[in-house]
Amino acid sequence: MAGATITVTDADFEEKVLKSDKPVLVDFWAAWCGPCRQIAPSLEAIASEHDEIIIAKLNIDENPATAAKYGVMSIPTLNVYQGGEVAKTIVGAKPKAAIVRDLEGFIK
């Protein structure tokens, strides 16, 4: 059974995301962002339904260095990291079904 989303920070991003054996979807978000709050339940559901991908959340206000490093200009931005590289970028709030479609190739 898969787990819930994890929280990542500037300090542990490399360890938890870039060095992961599994693909990691990182949700770049902020507490004041309405669309970010809107997609959070969908991401939690995907995390609980698919153990072949890790869903991580990075608060850009608390961790600006990582967001800047990856050129995150608008939120929510969802980056899928595989093998230490960005494999896919999804920008904006979408329904759960659309996010799952975007993740084809990373989840079963």
List, by residue number, the catalytic residues.
33, 36
The answer to whether the CB of 63 falls within 8 A of the CB of 7 is no
DSSP state of 61: T
In the block, which residue shows the tokens 């190739």? 105
Structure token digits, residue 2: 């898969």
